[in-house]
Amino acid sequence: MSGYLAVIVVVLIFVVIFQIAKASEYVSILKGEKKAREQSNRINGFLMIVFLVLGLIGVWWCHDLLEGRMLAEPASDHGVGVDSLIKVTFIITMIVFVLTQIALFVFAWKYQEKDGRKALFFPHNNKLEVIWTVIPAIVLTVLVAFGIRHWLKMTSDAPKGSMVVEVTGKQFNWIIRYPGKDGQLGRRNFKLTNESNNPVGQDWADKLNTDDIIAPELHVVVGKPVKLIIGSRDVVHDVGLPHFRLKMDAVPGIPTTLWFTPTITTAEYRKRTGNPDFVYELACDQMCGSGHYSMKANIVVETQEEYDAWLAKQVTQYSVAHPAPETPAGPAAPADSTKAVAALGK
Amino acid sequence: MSNEATLHSQDLHHHGHAADHGHGNGHDGHDHHHEETFISKYVFSMDHKMIAKQFLITGIIWAIIGAFFSVLFRLQLGYPDSTFPWLESILGHWAEGGRITAEAYYALVTMHGTILVFFVLTAGLSGTFSNLLIPLQVGARDMASPFMNMLSYWFFFLASVIMMSSLFVQTGPASGGWTSYPPLSALGDASIGSKIGMDLWLVSMAIFVVSSLLGSLNYISTILNMRTKGMSMTKMPLTIWGFFFTAILGVLSFPVLLSGFVLLLFDRHGGTSFYLSELFVAGKVLPNEGGSAILYQHLFWFLGHPEVYIIILPAMGMVSEILAVNSRKPIFGYLAMVGSMFAITILAFLVWAHHMFVTGLNPFLGAFFVLLTLLIAVPSAIKVFNWITTIWRGNIRFTPASLFSIGFVSTFISGGLTGIWLGNSAIDIHLHDTYFVIAHFHIVMGVSAFFGMFAGIYHWFPKMYGRYMNQTLGFIHFWITLVGAYLIFWPMHYEGMAGMPRRYFDYSNWASFNSFNGLNMFISFVVIIVFATQLLFVFNFFYSIFKGRKLTTPNPWNATTLEWTTPINPGHGNWPGEIPEVHRWAYDYSKDGKDFIPQTVPVSPDESGH
């Protein structure tokens, strides 16, 4: 019922606007075209300046309102670089934005048609044109130089001794594999993949695989560079790390890499933001199907001791895939393994 | 020979077989023409002016559908906890209980993008105005090939029918985003939208490319070969330059897109592995090995990036023309305007990988694309400064067309500047695929291109239909749309800087992104108002075709260009007599104390130069 009412109200508003518009057309014919044009020029010229003033206030107000809701400080060294580059770019583009918009709307208002005003025949001026070709070129060169410097730093090879973690996307969650004690990830073969006990297709013939651990969360150590080896099992995904200001696609068949050094532990970030429930999140940033919006993994940034303690509690995927019936398993092992598999299967 | 006889012999001479079609009847007193049927005049017409109207009206219908889809998915984003029972009555099981499903949401965003980018802002914008203005402004009786021109529209129509039909299949239309990246778009098991809906999408797009090529080749040959006497390239209005570069971009880049789509069809049905490798989907290992999902992205963006200039260049051309006419001043820096459009055209082919900074692209290559991408900001900046200088010390008439042109410059600045952010790969690595990107491209090519299109429609409506559109409705349309567009897209920059990913159905499970619920609701609310305002425009358009105030003069805006030297309702062939000769450029406004000097007026010996 209220739906119909809304439709009726909208239609009525339309009819009223239309009648006004139609009436104004008749009035303009009666008054003479010139008079009518003068009037509409005055109104539109006035609105130009109103729009400019309210618009600029709105831009400032919007910034004031939303600045605090953006992500807090970056939690990686790369992120600090990105934020500084954003800041420089923000200042430069804001200056250009404000000046050009002021020029545009002030000129539109100031040079509206008036009796006796003569437009200036001003077809070109080489000096002016050279100036506004060269200045943007110089400013952009500076931005390019800054940008490329950061970019090459971020995409350089990971430092020696970096931690290595493999992140594999699948519809619709993340499988995260740690190299275990040997520090090396075992070989994979996608043909060996199966949902029940080998989610990333580890080749068990490769002994490096025996101590690899699979978990649904990404654990990294504060202050220690970590290199992510990123892949996908099905469609293109993207490892989005908003708090670390980083992103990298997960492409099936073509591994990609990304490295960074986390600088703030989860516990510390909770303290700084005053939010006891704060978690770092890993978001999928490439459209991957109907569950795209739910493709999340939590990230835990912790100290080396905490990390070691966590890792020691994990069960290797090898033992999940090869339950050994002859040796009596500890009571924790089967429970843990079902947990691991269940977590991956969901 | 009398005027009439001249026309007749010229028509026959000039058109050959085309002379049988599409002559306007009963105007300007020459009623000697062959009987034409409804079909040959309104349906299979070869008159470029009628084809332009066909493109425009089809584009308007698509625009309503595409914009309505955005209202539907904005309802989900703005009011994720509410239900709208009427949604179920129009969408059925896609909106069970009055809330659209995730599958429906992705189908809606995909179709919104596809429709607006290709069917509205490519076919509807360039298709309409290239067709209308090229022959009229260069002084030709029609396109180089009126028949190919007709085919161009009917291929577009066929593409439209197929795309429309995909909305009604059981498994729904394509839903992998307007970019349709494989493997998602290649595997029916990966997404319900990648079943028959995706095939229809690909076939429709392939036919669309054919339409675009037929049109573009025609535009290029008409501009190069059919200019009237005296119309050297540098005397052409900037509109024509805009259409010319647009057509070149289309001819050189659409075939690459087509090849990408054909390979995708092979992967879907031919068992090939162009884009597929090492996949485990729906519990099964697939046999494909050795393909590259990234290859598709290269092929796609090799068109995809020029595509944004295909959308914006015609708008730039029209805005340049409209600003000059309504400021009563020559466009400032004509040659610089042409030069910057040329530079944009060249650079458009060299920046596509800036859409792929986070695909694992070689960082060294990435650095090059940063450089080339930011380089394109230079010609764009020149254009902006020249537009602003054009209105400086003018005598500006505010018509709906000139208002939308000023709006165009404003949004082009706003959206262009954020391009400098995203073109810098180190910033893009954070902002990629967030709402910042949505804000950027909607302002710079969505809103701007629409403003250019609206400006064009208001300005040349009198040429199309011999009537004016209602000005007051135009003013209301402009101000609500301008304010609304900024209210919708400006705050999205902040959501993007917070890392909020695009193409999310629901943000409620995310601690990082759920602080924007109120803002999302506000944006959705404005979207509904702006959408309703566009319906006002649509009403104004169709009402004015039949009931608008009639033109009493052939040159209502006191413009210099050739289209206004034709009769109020020109027939097929455009000029009843000889095609006028051109003696000067298109921008002699306020020169030597004269308000304007049409291009057809010979240069007098005592005239000042420029």
Chain B contact set for A129 (CB, 8 A): 333, 336, 382, 386
Question: Element (H or E) spanning B281, and its range?
Answer: strand B280-281
Read off the pLDDT band of A1 (50, 70, 90): low
Instruction: Please indicate if any CB of chain A lies within 8 Å of the CB of B71.
Output: no
Tokens of B180: 């349709």
Q: Give the burial class of B171: count Cβ atoms within 10 A of its Cβ; 0-12 exposed, 13-18 middle, 19 or more buried.
A: middle
Q: Does B162 touch chain A (CB under 8 A)?
A: no
DSSP collapsed to 3 states, B529-581: HHHHHHHHHHHHHHHHHHHCCECCCCCCCCCCCHHHHCCCCCCCCCCCCCCCC
Residues with Cβ within 8 Å of B610's Cβ and at least 6 positions away in sequence, in order, are: A121, A123, A124, B330, B591
CA distance B140 to chain A (A): 27
Residue B574 has pLDDT above 90, yes or no: yes
Report the chain A residue with the minimal C-alpha distance to residue B502.
A285
CA distances, B516 to each of A15, A70, B510 (Å): 36, 10, 11
Q: If we measure between CA atoms, which residue out of B398, B317, B451 comes closest to residue A105? A: B398
Which residue in the block uniquely carries the two structure tokens 């914008």? B125
- For B392-425, what is each residue's pLDDT tens digit? 999 999 999 999 999 999 999 999 999 999 999 9
Burial class (CB in 10 A: 0-12, 13-18, 19+), B259: middle
Q: Does B434 touch chain A (CB under 8 A)?
A: yes
Query: Facing residues of A164 across strands?
Result: A227
The residues, ordered by sequence, that sit 6+ positions from A87 with a Cβ below 8 Å of its Cβ are none
Give B-chain residues touching A113 at CB under 8 angstroms: 328, 395-398
Number of H helices, E strands in chain B: 19, 4
Tokens linked to B288: 């494909």
Cα separation, B6 vs B260, whole angstroms:
51
Question: Considering only the top CATH level, what class is A163-345?
Answer: mainly beta
Q: Looking only at Cα atoms, what is the longest distance across chain A?
A: 104
Question: Which comes out higher in pLDDT, residue B11 or B293?
Answer: B293
A270 touching B (Cβ < 8 Å): no
For residue B461, pLDDT over 90 is answered with: yes
Spell out the domain ranges in chain B.
45-274+297-322+352-596
Query: How far apart (Å, rounded) are the C-alpha atoms in residues B586 and A180?
Result: 74
Asked if residue A329 has pLDDT above 80, the reply is no
Quote the pLDDT of residue A22.
86
Number of CB atoms found within 10 A of residue A295's CB:
24
DSSP states along B423-488: TSHHHHHHHTTBHHHHHHHIIIIIIHHHHHHHHHHHHHHHHHHSBPPPHHHHHHHHHHHHHHHHHH
The answer to whether B361 touches A258, Cβ cutoff 8 Å, is: no
pLDDT averaged over every residue in chain A: 89
Residue that has been written with the tokens 């309505």 in this structure: B68
Whole-number Å distance between alpha carbons of B338 and B96: 53
The percentage of chain A sitting over the pLDDT mark of 70, rounded to a whole number, equals: 93
What CA–CA distance (Å, rounded) separates B506 from B517?
Answer: 10
Is B45-274+297-322+352-596 in CATH node 1.20.210.10? yes
Nearest CA in chain B to A291: B102
Mean pLDDT of A226-244: 95
Place of tokens 């809103």: B447
Share above pLDDT 90 across residues of chain B, in percent, rounded to a whole number = 86
Find where tokens 């162009």 sit.
B274
Q: Which amino acid is at B215?
A: G
What pLDDT score was predicted for residue B33?
53
Dist. CA B559–CA B327, nearest whole Å? 11
Helix B448-465 and helix B293-327, axial crossing angle in degrees, nearest 10 = 50
Residue to substitute from A15, A249, A280, A282, interface B, most B β-carbons within 10 A = A249
Residue A67 CA to its chain's centroid (Å)? 16
Does A273 contact chain B (CB < 8 Å)? no
Q: What is the pLDDT of residues B264-319, one digit of tens each?
A: 999 999 999 999 999 999 889 999 999 999 999 999 999 999 999 999 999 999 99
Of B293, B398, B420, the CB nearest to A252: B293
Q: Is A243 on the interface with B (CB under 8 A)?
A: yes
Query: Which among B358, B181, B280 has a CA at the least distance from the CA of A257?
Result: B358
**Residue of A26, A124, A187, A266 to mutate, testing the B interface (most B Cβ within 10 Å of its Cβ):** A124
Q: Exposed, middle or buried, A191 (CB in 10 Å: 0-12/13-18/19+)? A: middle
pLDDT tens-digit map of B30-74? 444 556 788 888 888 999 999 999 999 999 999 999 999 999 999
Helix-helix angle B128-138:B293-327, to 10 degrees: 50
The set of residues, in sequence order, having a beta carbon less than 8 Å from that of A127 and lying 6+ positions away, is none
B360:A256 CB<8 A? yes
Is some CB atom of chain A closer than 8 A to the CB atom of B433?
A: yes
Given this model, what pLDDT does residue A327 score? 54
Element spanning B160, H or E: helix B146-166
Could you tell me if B343 and B335 are in contact, meaning their C-beta atoms sit under 8 angstroms apart?
no
Whole-angstrom distance, CA of residue B91 vs CA of residue B109? 15
Under 8 Å CB pairs connecting chains A and B tally to 375
Q: Which amino acid, B281?
A: V
Q: Output the pLDDT for position B607.
A: 82
Q: pLDDT tens across B150-167, in order? A: 999 999 999 999 999 999
Cross-chain Cβ contact B406/A120 below 8 Å: no
List the single residue in B280, B392, B532 with the smallest CB-CB distance to A234.
Answer: B280
Q: Is A201 on the interface with B (CB under 8 A)?
A: yes
User: Percent of chain A, pLDDT > 90?
Assistant: 71
Give how far B103 is from chain A: nearest CA, Å: 5
Which H helix or E strand runs over A280?
strand A280-284
Strand order in the sheet with A280-284: A218-221, A296-302, A280-284, A237-241, A246-250
Q: Are B352 and B307 in contact, with CB atoms under 8 Å apart?
A: no
B568 Cβ contact list (under 8 Å, min separation 6): B27, B466, B551, B553, B554
What distance in Å separates residue A338's CA from the closest CA in chain B? 19
CA distance B356 to B181: 12
CA B480 to mean position of chain CA atoms: 21
Q: Per residue in B433-458, pLDDT tens?
A: 999 999 999 999 999 999 999 999 99
Q: What pLDDT is stored for residue B16 in this prediction?
A: 40
Distance (Å) from the alpha carbon of A117 to chain B's nearest alpha carbon: 7
Q: Is the pLDDT of residue B17 over 60?
A: no
- Mutation target among B389, B390, B472, B590 for the A interface, most CBs of A within 10 A: B472
Neighbours of A229 (CB within 10 A): 17
Over 90: is that where the pLDDT of A37 sits? no
Average pLDDT, chain B: 91
Give the ipTM of the model, two decimals please.
0.91
d(CA A86, CA A67): 14
**pLDDT > 70 fraction of chain B, expressed in percent and rounded:** 94
Q: What is the pLDDT of residues B96-151, one digit of tens each?
A: 888 999 999 999 999 999 999 999 999 999 999 999 999 999 999 999 999 999 99
Q: Could you say which of A22, A37, A287 has the minimum Cβ distance to residue B177?
A: A287
Number of CB atoms found within 10 A of residue A58's CB:
16
Instruction: Give the 3-state secondary structure of residue A251.
Output: strand
More confident site: B38 or B224: B224
Q: Once rounded to an integer, what is the mean pLDDT over residues A162-189? A: 93
**Residue A339 above 70 pLDDT?**
no
Q: Is A238 on the interface with B (CB under 8 A)?
A: yes
